[in-house]
Chains A and B, each alone.
Chain A
Amino acid sequence: MAQLEEVDETVLHRVVDRGRSLGASYVEARYHDNYGYSVSTRNMRVLGVEYVRERGVSVRVIVNGSLGFAATSDLTKEGLFKALEVAVTRARAASRLRKTPIEFSEERLGVAKYSVIEKKPLQDYLTPVSALNLLLETYKQAASTVKEAKLAVMTGRVRVAIESKIIVNSDGGLVKSVVPRPYVSIGSTLLHQRGTIQRYAEFGASGGGEKVDEWRVPEEVSSELARLEKVLVKGVKPPSEKLDVVLGQEVVGLIVHESAGHPMEADRILGREAAQAGESYVKPSMIGEFRVGNKYATVVEDPTIPGSYGFYLYDDECVRARPRYLYREGLLYEPLHNRHTARIFKAQSNGAARSMNYASEPIIRMSNTYLAPGDMSFEELIEDIELGIYVKSYMEWNIDDARWNQRYVGLEAYLIKNGELAEPVTNPVLEFTTGWFYSNIVGVDKNLEFYPGTCGKGEPSQGVPVWFGGPNVRLAKMKVGVLE
């Protein structure tokens, strides 16, 4: 294991045993260590170097059918027992307000240990100095690439994060894991007499320095800014008539994250997040019955993709992770479950419980979500389009709290004329419903790509690393809006 363990599993077992003796029917103790550092820049200057070491233990209990959670960074035996007692006492006090007891599904829990292999050890490869050099090189290349517009400002951030966990629970689960993740973000503002354009590009994965090599950050960022410069300098307004619309992989990935992943979270379906991240258009009775889209509407959620930003092999309830079909050829197929929602749905957990850090409750989260690709090339996808639009990337997006009504504003976009990409288009606006999108896919290509993101949910809000992705997707004709 790459990180040192500060809390031995025997200490966690003691917490679990003591919790049972205090009357809890379920006890879970999780040691969770987030270690990392980051370097941030503005143009050619350093803004700051940050180091983070967040480690502590959280205790989750069920007492009289009431769920309690407490977290502490005091890792002495007294500190851990105090957190346990607070969790038990406050759960018991709230139990009189519960009408139905909280129970977990019966599961075969993991006893396992795993870590992500770093071909190039991350902390050796991506030191603060090499991280700074990467950002400075990115700025230099980008500044020399942009010709007609001005690169007014570029902000950069490189982060190394090592997440280590030991999870013990009273149902026999014991899982130890170490997942290293490199991450780079670049924010750019281009200025021209025609206006401004901004891009926030992200790169993220699990693994070592080899991932950073694969990203080719300076080249990719420079290449994209050169294309965005053309959008800014030469972009035209989208035509007002209905158009064939082709969405790029980044946009498709975001759409399936927002309109397949989130609405298929079982806690959201049941209303547990109603006052925060919202509910879902999906109701329990619709699972396996309701068809939201056509044969192309197959969305997969898979935490086990090697090298992915949302990678894990066991969830934070020690349930083994596996791929799941959220939508399968248009059918609402399988929600994301933890042990609590699985019990209510009379199903088995499919290992979706994740927490951001020791101070966070494990809740149902996505990991890596994507639309299944097809077998045609991009050229074949657009070859018979007389007049259409290709939206490759986005900046602004949002979706309503039931995950039905959504909007994406394109950033890099082009007209399609007679089967070929033509002049750039400025700020095309796409607004549609989940049902319309999944029912109006008329083609997908074979080029599956993934993009990193930090997904927010929970109270207090937890941001967890995810990938989202898909192939290029062609939609039926629709009216494309204009940003006013």
Chain B
Amino acid sequence: MSAHELAQKLVKELSRTYDEVAVLLIETDRTMVKLWNSEPSVVQSWLDWEVMLRLAKNKRMWILRFRTRNIDQILESTGRLIELADKVEESELYSPLPEAQVCKPLSDVYDPAIDKFSEDPSRLVEVLIDEALGAGAERVAGMISLGKLTKTLATSRGYECRESKTFVEAYARAFRGDFSGHWAHGSTRVNIEEVRKVGRIAGKYATITSSKTSITPGKYKVVISPLVVGNLMNYVGSMASALSVLTGFSFFAKYKLGDKVAHEKFSLYDKPRDATLPGATGFDDEGIETVDKPIIENGLFKSLLHNSGTAGRMGTKSTGNAGWIYPLSWNLEVSGGELSEEELISELREGLFITNNWYTRLQNYYEGAFSTVSRDVALYVKNGKVVGDVGRVRIAATFPQILSNIQGSTCERYDIWWWEVRTPTRAPYLLLEGINITKPEV
């Protein structure tokens, strides 16, 4: 049974019992090569099929997720739910499914070249390894993943739409001695030059210094790379979800639309319509056409991300970001500035250049209080020149502090997608001032 046939049949059958039905089918064909010590550790493949249902009866709402094509099993599983319709309370996030819009999938998100590389990604793997080693690294770890994803959405409101896209994700971590560098890229298109660039930049940072130095904890001017910007903005994007605000797990809960939340040079957008970024899509999980939108623009808080339920709860309209329960960003884009990377480092004069980070955790989401640890080289810069690697240090701050203390950014931006940046993010290097840096003092 095709996805179209299964979706139609499920809508028809379930509409006999439920007031509203939405069916979302995701078909995936994906290959991933994981690298270890400059060779593959494992080649993984997924030939997968996921069926998700949003069912509503008397304003009670159920979300079901299956990994099966067996329609009888799906229908059997839904049968018992109806018994709960009078026992479970109305969902606070229930809102009627929207009227059917015209189906407008994005048309330029499919790259046929993916097929060739999926069957044998060796060429891409070799390029990634060779570029990093060519830049002076001694060994390389990383990952290349390629694939196709087709989503089909059908609702009892008469909406049906289908969209196919391709994606490539590549990242490398290059090592020389005690020093390492990392870079990443994500796109809907496979471009061997971009994969080459990932290996090259990872190698560049692994070899940018052979000196170690030390700093004392305190306030510093800091340049953060697009990897770090991507990681932090993923948290900001997540906290821009209206459900994060409703549940108290967002610093945006303290602000009203229009409030100043960042430096005027800073803007952050949700960009589902950007066909080059791998989160691109023409319609959300409720069948609403997606739209690019500012979350923060010129420092002002412009929009939360809504589905119909959160929009109804907060007296506004959906922004096309469903998630049936949790509204989510599709792609994030941070505004760029006018400087080159070298000019930004020069502008730093004295401070830290943090090339990568991980393990961002929050003490308090409502306040946005967090810390994150550097990984790979974190460089102490004096008089615009690199002095050496300071080892692992932390940025310990609040998101409002980070956003307000932005002093500059590069014009060139990079499309980042990797293990620590799960929502694809187009990001520049950012210069921040007065950032609290900590490390153990025992």
**Shortest Cβ distance from residue B41 to the other chain A in the assembled complex, whole angstroms:** 5
- Which residue of A50, A83, A411 contacts B47 across the interface (Cβ within 8 Å)? A83
B151 in contact (CB, < 8 A): no
Give which listed residue, A90, A407, A436, contacts B43 with CB less than 8 A. Answer: A90
Q: Are B247 and A278 in contact (CB under 8 A)?
A: no
List A contacts of B35 (CB < 8 A): 275
Contacts of B364 in A (CB 8 A): 196-198, 395
List 28 interface pairs A-B (beta carbons < 8 Å), by A numbering.
A45-B89, A46-B91, A49-B63, A49-B91, A50-B325, A51-B64, A51-B77, A56-B67, A67-B43, A70-B46, A71-B44, A73-B50, A74-B47, A74-B49, A99-B39, A129-B88, A155-B249, A196-B366, A274-B173, A275-B35, A359-B46, A397-B361, A398-B371, A400-B373, A407-B438, A411-B363, A460-B32, A484-B397
Tell whether, in the assembled complex, residue B48 and residue A71 are in contact, meaning their CB atoms are under 8 Å apart: yes
**Contact at A276–B419, with CB atoms within 8 Å?**
yes
Chain B stretch 367-402: residues in CB contact (< 8 A) with chain A: 367, 369-375, 391-392, 394, 396-397
Contact residue among B68, B77, B122 (Cβ-Cβ distance under 8 Å from A97): B122
Q: Per DSSP, are chain B's interface residues mostly helix, strand or loop, or mixed?
A: strand
B371 and A432 contacting across the interface, CB-CB below 8 Å: no
Contact A484 B436 (CB under 8 A): yes
B62 engages A50 (CB within 8 Å): yes
Complex interface: stretch among A161-169, A311-319, A475-483: A475-483
> A63-101 toward B: CB 8 Å interface, digit per residue (1/0)?
000111111111100010011001101110110111110
Min CB–CB distance B26 → chain A (angstroms): 11
**Closest chain A residue to B363 by CB distance?**
A396
Q: A97-B39, A155-B247, A481-B438 are in contact. Are A129 and B45 (CB under 8 A)?
A: no
Looking at the complex, which one of A50, A79, A195, A198 makes contact with B64 (CB distance below 8 Å)?
A50
B42 touches A (CB below 8 Å): yes
Chain B residues 158-189 with CB under 8 Å of chain A are 171-173, 175, 182
Since A275-B35, A275-B172, A398-B394 are in contact, a sample of 12 more A-B pairs with Cβ atoms closer than 8 Å, ordered by chain A residue number, is: A47-B91, A48-B63, A49-B61, A68-B42, A71-B46, A73-B69, A90-B43, A94-B122, A271-B141, A359-B48, A406-B440, A483-B396
CB proximity of B72 to chain A, nearest CB, Å: 12
Q: Is B48 a contact partner of A128 (Cβ separation < 8 A)?
A: no
Q: Does A264 contact B (CB under 8 A)?
A: no
A455 at the interface (CB under 8 A from B): no
Distance in angstroms from A116 CB to nearest chain B CB is 23
Which listed residue, B46, B247, B442, touches A432 by the CB 8 Å rule?
B442
Any chain A CB within 8 A of the CB of B255? Answer: no
Assuming A51-B63, A271-B36, is B41 touching A46 (CB within 8 A)? no
Task: Determine if A459 is an interface residue (Cβ-Cβ < 8 Å).
Answer: yes
CB A257 to nearest CB in B, in angstroms, measures 13
Q: For A411, list chain B residues within 8 Å (CB).
A: 363
Cβ contact within 8 Å between B143 and A97: no
Of all A-B residue pairs in the complex, the 5 with the closest CB atoms, nearest first, are A274-B141, A396-B363, A189-B248, A45-B92, A398-B359
Q: Is A234 an interface residue, CB under 8 A from the partner?
A: no
Question: A113 contacts the other chain (Cβ, under 8 Å)?
Answer: no
User: Is B171 in contact with A396, judged by CB distance below 8 angstroms?
Assistant: no
Contact residues of B between 112 and 129, Cβ < 8 Å to A: 119-122, 125-126
Expressed in whole angstroms, the Cα–Cα distance for A405 and B374 within the complex equals 11
A250 CB within 8 Å of chain B: no
Is B290 located at the chain interface by the 8 A CB criterion? no
Instruction: State which residues 20-54 of A face B: CB under 8 Å.
Output: 39-40, 42, 45-54
A: which residues have CB within 8 A of B? 39-40, 42, 45-56, 66-75, 79, 82-83, 86-87, 89-91, 93-94, 96-100, 128-129, 132, 152-153, 155, 187, 189, 195-198, 270-272, 274-276, 278, 358-359, 361, 395-402, 404-407, 409, 411, 427, 429, 431-433, 436, 440, 459-461, 478-479, 481, 483-484
**A459–B61 CA distance with the chains assembled, in angstroms:** 33
The reply to whether A401 and B375 form a contact with Cβ atoms under 8 Å apart is yes
CA distance A271 to B81 in the complex (A): 47
Q: Is the CB of B45 within 8 A of A53?
A: no
- Cα of A460 to Cα of B44 in the assembled complex, Å: 10
Cα–Cα distance between A300 and B354 once the two chains are bound (Å): 36
Looking at B32, B33, B243, B419, which has the most chain A CB atoms within 10 Å of its CB? B419
Chain B residues lying within 8 Å of A53, measured Cβ to Cβ, are 64-68, 73, 77
Give every chain A residue within 8 A of B41 (Cβ-Cβ). Answer: 67, 272
Shortest C-beta distance, A479 to chain B (Å), equals 6
In the complex, whether B40 has a CB less than 8 A from a CB of chain A is: yes
Residues of B whose CB lies within 8 Å of any CB of A are 31-37, 39-50, 60-69, 73, 77, 81, 84, 87-93, 119-122, 125-126, 139, 141-143, 171-173, 175, 182, 243, 246-249, 324-325, 358-367, 369-375, 391-392, 394, 396-397, 419, 436, 438-442
- Distance in angstroms between the alpha carbons of A56 and B89 in the assembled complex: 33
Return the chain A residue nearest B369 by Cβ.
A483
Residues of A within 8 A of B44 (CB): 68-71, 361
In the assembled complex, the CB of B431 is this many whole angstroms from the nearest CB of chain A, namely: 20
B36, A459: Cβ atoms under 8 Å?
no
| A69→B249 CA distance, assembly (Å) | 37
With both chains docked as a complex, state the minimum distance between the C-beta of A162 and any C-beta of chain B, in angstroms: 13
Contact B43 A68 (CB under 8 A): yes
Complex Cα distance, B125 from A79, in Å, reads 28
Residue from A51, A71, A152 with most neighbouring chain B CB atoms (10 Å)? A51
- How far, in angstroms, from A69 to B145 measured CA to CA in the complex? 14
> Could you tell me if A55 and B68 are in contact, using CB atoms closer than 8 angstroms?
yes
- B440 near A405 with CB under 8 A, answer yes
B373 near A405 (CB under 8 angstroms)? yes
Q: Contacts A436-B442, A479-B441: A87 and B40 contacting too (C-beta < 8 A)?
A: no
Question: A465: shortest Cβ distance to chain B, in Å?
Answer: 19
Tell which of A46, A153, A484 touches B248, judged by Cβ atoms closer than 8 Å: A153
**Which residues from chain B contact A358 at a C-beta distance below 8 Å?**
67
CA distance A89 to B122 in the complex (A): 12
Interchain CA distance A276-B125 in the complex, whole Å: 17
Closest A residue, CB atoms, query B202: A275
Question: CB distance A396 to B439 under 8 Å?
Answer: no
